[in-house]
Amino acid sequence: MSRHISDLQAILSQLAAEHRKLFDQLEAQHAAMKKFDLPVIADWITRSEATRLRINDLEGRRRNLMRQITVSLKLPAEPRLTRLAELFPPQAAGLLKARQELRDLATRILRRSQGSSRLASAVLGHLNTVVRLLAGAVERAGLYNKQGIPRVVSRVGVMDAIG
């Protein structure tokens, strides 16, 4: 059983390292978004997606290991890390430390991704407005009077065409 707990601690430390890496990538991506540097943004998106895939793989391994621990301890449900810390006092400090570190990183990632999300949403809102204005202008293409108001006439004469 001790081997399962040490494997769990190793996976948790790898998860923490990957989450740290993801946070750093989100920071760099946010800085590139502020500068509107599209190639750099695309590069960081690719890198962060690869990191997310590694986190997903590690999470699957953690879940599998937790199922093994649950079966070997004959517990009715999957235990939380605090419960495992109670069951294995020698490894309690490491488990609780990894738990707290992952929580802190998840909170930081959440805050950074919300900020990037708001920035991306604002940019998309402005682009949406531009597209709507262009679509409206194209929809009412034709002649304009002296005041700049579009005018639809049944027949266009030489005197009607301005500018």
C-beta of residue 95 within 8 angstroms of C-beta of residue 85:
yes
**What does the angle CA 99 – CA 71 – CA 8 come to, to the nearest 5 degrees?**
30
Q: Do 82 and 96 contact (CB within 8 A), yes or no?
A: yes
Cβ(52)–Cβ(22) under 8 Å? yes
Residue 141 has pLDDT above 80, yes or no: no
* Eight-state DSSP code of residue 121: H
pLDDT value of residue 64: 95
Name the CATH topology of 2-119.
Answer: Methane Monooxygenase Hydroxylase; Chain G, domain 1 (1.20.58)
Structure tokens at 61: 């391994």
pTM strictly above 0.75: no
The domain limits of the chain are 2-119
Average pLDDT, the chain: 85
